[in-house]
Chain A
Amino acid sequence: GAVVSQHPSWVICKSGTSVKIECRSLDFQATTMFWYRQFPKQSLMLMATSNEGSKATYEQGVEKDKFLINHASLTLSTLTVTSAHPEDSSFYICSARADNEQFFGPGTRLTVL
């Protein structure tokens, strides 16, 4: 199946700093990628749909100015958590669609101190 990678796999940052997470489709092109957030022992919550060459579509309640999404190419989408705070600590997972199936990245563990 298709492979989706994420970088970094984990990151620790200080409160107030910004963190960028990359999501790449390694062997296919993805016009649409998705960003999810998962709190401990909870399900995945869709944050936004990232569309190549256009603005991302954010789910209700997700601050687009805080979670900046850029889908600059058919194989790369980035999520930037701006001015991170401890409550932003979470597991962030991206996915991309190919052949009517979603493939998920391994996730990025963000810890904000």
Chain B
Amino acid sequence: AQSVTQLGSHVSVSEGALVLLRCNYSSSVPPYLFWYVQYPNQGLQLLLKYTSAATLVKGINGFEAEFKKSETSFHLTKPSAHMSDAAEYFCAVTKRSTGGFKTIFGAGTRLFVKA
């Protein structure tokens, strides 16, 4: 069964520092993997997705993630954090189910950015 595990419920970085949010997946078949961002009291916005094309995926707002099959990982990175990056980030995997697909979310990681 597909699932995702996000390591670290909270991550704090200084403005301008590297952002690294960790996500590991378990899947019996090649997965579709996603990173979403959620600002307070809002829905989810897609940052990027992996769909078995390039292993290094570039997303919006300067974020990128690398699919590493050998490590079953899909970590999210950004070279230089900005104050506006402070939010909740969710890693997700799409799972095939009866009648189609559904998306399973990790527990989320809250990113804090210090001035």
Contact = CB atoms under 8 A, between A and B. Distances in A.
A93 to B, nearest CB: 6
B46 interface: yes
Nearest to A6: B43
Given A49-B97, A100-B51, A34 B107 contact: no
Interface string A41-58: 111101001010000010
Contact of A107 (B36, B42, B90, B100): B42
A4 B43 CA distance: 10
A85 interface: no
Contacts of B41: 91, 107, 109
B100 A32 contact: yes
A106 B99 contact: no
Please classify how large the interface on chain B is, using the bins under 10, 10 to 19, 20 to 34, 35 or more: 20 to 34
Nearest to A49: B102
Interface string B92-115: 000001111111111110100000
Please classify how large the interface on chain A is, using the bins under 10, 10 to 19, 20 to 34, 35 or more: 20 to 34
Give the dominant DSSP class at A's interface. strand
Contacts of A91: 41
B42 A106 contact: yes
Contact of B43 (A42, A100, A106): A106
Interface of A: 1, 4, 6, 32, 34, 41-44, 46, 49, 51, 57, 91, 93, 95, 97, 100-107, 109
Interface of B: 32, 34, 36, 41-46, 49, 51, 90, 97-108, 110
